[in-house]
């Protein structure tokens, strides 16, 4: 083949792999390599920058992503056929890498001020269920209410249904996790009112949810059970009447100016690829730093997808205590996956691997970039109320709908979601901004994507400029501009509480 400078990138001077920025055919001469490529390398995948001996560490982002399971010739494709995870023994170096935040101008958005002091970006009514057995009735109520003229005074009625609430212990970790999740949704500032509907005989009892703490400080809250109300038809009729009353209160809310410090953003990635850690994730990370500098809050999650990169977070912890809380969660996950017959490296999906990611260490290093460089101010359990502003961590599975469910329960009023393969979803009552990692997917799925970050590679747009563009869109969406997922109607099926423990 004719010699040419092939499109590749080295992300760190110490890396011994390059990243292909286009599909590279075998035989191509790549600038910086002494030999032509021995075989093809797909876009987003890795190739050896020099010969790598079997057992040697493979380095990307200046960090270990695994070890070579066999000798890898210079220029060869580096992937799951010759790269394994290897030992995982990080140096946590607690609170040794605290960096200053960027200088910013104060920003505002137009939101709904709530009685508890928080600010919503949307104004929905929710029909919350204590158990799967009341799920269909909750949908019937929401559907009937949406047909009413008064429903136009609010953003809509959201049925919040799920697959658990019974057939479980009433005391263990799983019960407490579900309890926090339901309580957190009831209090999310994007709801102007909540109707709680149970069956009546379930483990997650409605009186327990109501009696252990006031579910909403504004009092715009009602509850009932299907058995106590007299069956499906009577429950639907009563539910619509209750929502009508709550809509009169919620409908009086008006958007007013609020500082950006009132924003709490869930940081998510799904359907990641080899570009995620190069484009969208670091750009979102820069936007996260900008928001934290405003006094706002950003939430990183998905514990199986920071595994192998958690040391980058513990070094940014504001104290050893905060860093050790994160390590405790990592240890919990190692035990949790082991007792369920899994392992932490099971996480990369077939789509992740097709997009160029190999080990969980590699995936995690790219995923952590969503959190920027701000100090880690706090670590929380799934669905636990966030009480510390700044950049924080909330423990969750890597399964996106479940992870976002926890972030919303913890108080997120907006979600930013990066994707390389093209995840489609939405998370009522919270708007979700989708960020594409590459040009090709953005063009193919433009109806689902809000921002293209692929131009960071294709056109040389800086991470900083893209981060500012992301923050600008965050402020506009928080003020009422609709996202692509909202326009498509997503959000009715993505409430997925984390189900921990035996189903009995």
Longest CA span, the chain: 79
pLDDT in tens, 89-125: 789 999 999 999 999 999 999 999 999 999 999 999 9
Whole-angstrom Cα distance, residue 9 to residue 98?
28
DSSP class of residue 118 equals -
Mean pLDDT score across all residues of the chain:
94
479-484 mean pLDDT: 98
For residues 279 and 458, the answer to whether their CB atoms sit within 8 Å is: no
**2 pLDDT higher than 60:** no
> What was the pLDDT predicted at 212?
67
How many helices, marked H, and strands, marked E, lie in the chain? 15, 21
Which ranges of 128-274 would DSSP assign to H, the alpha helix? Answer: 135-146, 173-187, 206-211, 226-229, 232-250
Question: What percentage of the chain has pLDDT greater than the value 70?
Answer: 98
pLDDT band at 85 (very low <50, low <70, confident <90, very high): confident
Comparing C-alpha atoms, which of 185, 200, 184 is closest to residue 133? Answer: 200
Report strand pairing: 119-120 vs 83-84: unpaired
**332 pLDDT higher than 60:** yes
pLDDT in tens, 426-471: 999 999 999 999 999 999 999 999 999 999 999 999 999 999 999 9
The pTM of the full predicted model, rounded to 2 decimals, is 0.94
pLDDT in tens, 153-163: 899 999 999 99
Q: How far is CA 37 from CA 29, 30, 43, 403, in A?
A: 6, 7, 14, 40
For residues 425 and 401, the answer to whether their CB atoms sit within 8 Å is: yes
Q: How far is CA 380 from CA 31, 217, 393, 453, in A?
A: 47, 22, 6, 30
**152 pLDDT higher than 90:** no
Name the packing angle between helices 232-250 and 135-146 (round to 10°): 50
**345 pLDDT higher than 80:** no
């Amino acid at each position: 083949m004719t010699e040419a400078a092939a499109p590749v990138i080295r992300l760190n001077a110490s890396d011994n792999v390059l990243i292909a920025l286009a599909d590279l055919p075998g035989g191509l001469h790549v600038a910086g390599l002494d030999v032509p490529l021995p075989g093809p390398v797909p876009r987003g995948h890795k190739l050896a920058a020099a010969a790598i001996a079997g057992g040697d560490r493979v380095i990307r982002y200046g960090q270990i992503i695994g070890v070579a399971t066999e000798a890898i010739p210079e220029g060869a494709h580096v992937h799951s056929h010759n790269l394994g995870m290897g030992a995982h023994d990080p140096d946590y170096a607690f609170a040794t890498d605290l960096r200053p935040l960027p200088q910013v101008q104060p920003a505002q958005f137009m939101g709904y001020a709530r009685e508890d002091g928080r600010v919503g970006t949307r104004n929905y009514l929710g029909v919350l269920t204590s158990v799967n057995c009341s799920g269909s009735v909750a949908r019937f109520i929401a559907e009937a209410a949406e047909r009413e003229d008064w429903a136009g005074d609010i953003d809509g009625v959201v049925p919040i249904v799920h697959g658990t609430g019974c057939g479980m212990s009433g005391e263990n970790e799983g019960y407490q996790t579900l309890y926090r999740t339901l309580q957190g949704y009831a209090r999310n500032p994007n709801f102007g009112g909540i109707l709680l509907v149970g069956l009546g005989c379930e483990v997650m009892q409605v009186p327990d949810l109501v009696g252990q703490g006031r579910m909403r400080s504004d009092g715009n809250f009602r509850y009932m059970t299907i058995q106590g109300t007299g069956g499906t038809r009577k429950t639907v009729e009563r539910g619509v009447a209750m929502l009508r009353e709550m809509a009169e209160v919620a409908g009086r809310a008006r958007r007013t100016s609020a500082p950006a410090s009132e924003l709490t953003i869930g940081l998510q990635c799904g359907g990641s690829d080899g570009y995620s850690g190069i484009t969208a994730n670091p750009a979102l990370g820069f936007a996260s730093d900008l928001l934290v500098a405003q006094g706002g809050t950003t939430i990183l999650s998905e514990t199986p997808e920071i595994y192998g990169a958690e040391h980058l977070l513990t070094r940014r912890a504001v104290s050893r205590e905060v860093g050790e809380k994160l390590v405790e969660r990592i240890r919990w996950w190692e035990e949790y996956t082991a007792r369920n017959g899994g392992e932490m490296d099971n996480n990369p999906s077939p789509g992740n691997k097709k997009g160029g990611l190999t080990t969980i260490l590699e995936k995690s290093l790219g995923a952590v970039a969503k959190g920027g460089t701000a100090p880690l101010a706090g670590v929380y359990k799934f669905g636990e109320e966030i009480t510390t502003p700044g950049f924080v961590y909330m423990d969750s599975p890597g399964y996106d709908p479940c992870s976002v469910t926890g972030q919303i329960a913890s108080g997120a009023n907006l979600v930013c979601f990066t994707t390389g393969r093209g995840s489609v979803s939405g998370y009522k009552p919270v708007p979700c901004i989708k960020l594409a990692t590459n040009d090709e997917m953005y063009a193919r799925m433009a109806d689902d994507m809000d921002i293209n970050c692929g131009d960071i590679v294709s056109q040389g747009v800086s991470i900083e400029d893209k981060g500012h563009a992301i923050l600008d869109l965050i402020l506009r969406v928080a003020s009422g501009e609709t996202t692509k997922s909202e326009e498509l109607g997503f959000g009715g099926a993505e409430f997925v509480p984390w189900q921990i423990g035996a189903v009995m």
